Amino acid sequence: MPSGQILLADDDAAIRTVLNQALSRAGYEVRSSSNAATLWRWVSQGEGDLVITDVMMPDENAFDLLPRIKKIRPELPIIVMSAQNTFMTAIKASERGAYEYLPKPFDLKELVAVVGRALSRPRSAPGGAHAVPENEDIPLVGRSQAMQEIYRALARLMPTDLTVMITGESGTGKELVAKALHDYGKRRQGPFVAVNMAAIPRELIESELFGHEKGAFTGATARSTGRFEQAEGGTLFLDEIGDMPMEAQTRLLRVLQQGEYTTVGGRVPIKTNVRIVAATNKDLRVLIQQGLFREDLYFRLNVVPLRLPPLRERVEDIPDLVRHFFVLVEKEGLGRKQLDVEAMDRLKRYRWPGNVRELENLVRRLAALYPQDTITGAIVDAELDSQPLLPPQPAGKPGQTALQTSEGLSDAVERHLSEYFSGFRDSLPPPGLYHRILREIEGPLIGAALAATRGNQIRAAELLGVNRNTLRKKVRDLDLMVVRSNRA
Ligand SMILES: Nc1ncnc2c1ncn2[C@@H]1O[C@H](COP(=O)(O)OP(=O)(O)OP(=O)(O)O)[C@@H](O)[C@H]1O
């Protein structure tokens, strides 16, 4: 049974009661208060093994209190809860030395797990507070659940130098996330250098990245520095990493393994101190199967994977993003507009194949081309005319709803398979394809059913129309993670 005293501060009595019950049931002793002053008194008297606090309290903002607590008791873990779920909240929590940040509402089981982890971590490793620039324009916009996860992951990554692999469709914000990791991380005084593998001729990639010596190849008339050298002490963002040729992959692997490289045509190993953030919109595991990407490099790069969801999976972010882009274009001298309800509805039902970039471009067009202050649904229709809309949210019972998206599932699978087969050119994929493909479809299907039922396996089995035991076995066999929530 775990033990320890928890100091809890939140001005909402209902939240105090619920958390008190959950934590007491888990074996902790809880003292709770509705204000920051009492929390501060307890902490300064040396009480408590862990603090859980809301950000907005009647007498003080917890972000102002945190540095004082850290000063007198640097090893006391602090968990911050907030309903103000922006990127900056997550970053500030990390910057002020919070052990963890939980956007409200959260799962009680998760809170208890975080408390358990915080209390069992080695005492000599206090959550490293690091100062980040004050009051920046918020770089990442969106408060959807999916973005909350990204913010929390970013906040945890800020004080580290870990290699990060960002995946996501084109235009989902991969470069923006890489830049935020740099700008708010501990290397922000160093350079941020971005290289797009798809934009450089393949035969020049090695020299671009690692530099070359004079005479290394025809046309190399002088020594040239590479991007690694330019990024020394900072971050190197390797975009479209799936397009990196094999030879360059081998050199990159060496950097990740040994922290050194040689220039093209050079012999002397050069030590390097660069944080690598890679990004791709391709499935690297498919490239590995096709022999186009080194598996060992994949594992070295994929230390912390971050998946950016496509915009159609977080349509609730669209109003915030639209507002954000209108503010940006206003700063550039274009008129500020607003969207009527119908126009916003159209945007939420659109597929957004180009994701946030496409939305940003649309806002620019609306600001530049239309004199009226209010943008109507008809205008949005005219601007998006060639693109298919998603069907409206079905109102009928789930059982009556046809399995329908703007691209049929079988069309998508067919397209995927044809790309997969063509990757093997004259040969065939490895045997066992039937079961491999079915597994790939089963995983997301069961995952989606569990997510929709918040991890309730009985309801997920009903939804899927399979036996409960069958579902349990599949979850085990496919090694799926089940996240339960009491909000099911
Ligand atoms: N969450 C967000 N908040 C604000 N702006 C965003 C967000 N996500 C993306 N953008 C904007 O959308 C545009 C595209 O983002 P970005 O270039 O980072 O995407 P990407 O995934 O790297 O695209 P690609 O794969 O095509 O290189 C940029 O102008 C970026 O500023």
Q: Which of the 8 DSSP states describes residue 198?
A: G
pLDDT in tens, 329-372: 888 888 788 899 999 999 999 999 999 999 999 999 998 888 88
Q: How far is CA 65 from CA 68, 88, 129, 407, in A?
A: 5, 17, 14, 51
Supply the CATH classification number for the domain 314-383: 1.10.8.60
Q: In this model, does residue 388 exceed pLDDT 70? A: no
Structural tokens at position 11 = 């001005």
Same fold flag, 5-141 and 160-307: yes
DSSP assignment of 120-174 equals HS-TT---------SSPPPSS---SHHHHHHHHHHHHHTT----EEEE-STTSSH
Does the domain at residues 160-307 carry the CATH identifier 1.10.3720.10? no
* Report for 124-128, 430-434, 449-453, 477-481: range of highest mean pLDDT: 449-453
- Kindly state the percentage of the chain with pLDDT values over 70: 89
Mutate which of 138, 145, 176 for ligand 1 pocket (most atoms within 8 A of beta carbon): 176
Q: What is the pLDDT of residue 127?
A: 44
Q: What is the pTM of this model?
A: 0.68
Tokens 């920051």 correspond to: 36
Residue 265 zone, left/alpha/beta (φ > 0; ψ -120 to 50; rest): left
From 317, 357, 358, 363, the mutation candidate for ligand 1 (largest count of ligand atoms within 8 A of CB) is: 357
Domain ranges of the chain: 5-141, 160-307, 314-383, 431-477
Q: How far is the CA of 363 from the centre of ligand 1 (A)?
A: 14
319-325: long-range contacts at Cβ-Cβ below 8 A with a sequence spacing of 24 or more? 319/344, 320/141, 320/142, 320/143, 321/141, 321/142, 321/356, 321/359, 321/360, 322/347, 322/359, 322/363, 324/141, 325/359, 325/360, 325/363, 325/364
Q: Which of 80, 61, 73, 8 is nearest to 38 (CA)?
A: 8
- Classify domain 5-141 by CATH number: 3.40.50.2300
Question: Ligand 1, atom 27: nearest CA belongs to which residue?
Answer: 170
Q: Which residue's CA is the closest to the ligand 1 atom numbered 10?
A: 173
Tell me the H-state helices in 290-432: 295-301, 318-331, 341-349, 355-369, 377-383, 409-422
Structure ipTM: 0.98
Tokens found for residue 450: 């569990």
pLDDT at 223: 80
Q: What is the CATH number of domain 431-477?
A: 1.10.10.60
pLDDT 10s digits, 129-138: 455 444 446 6
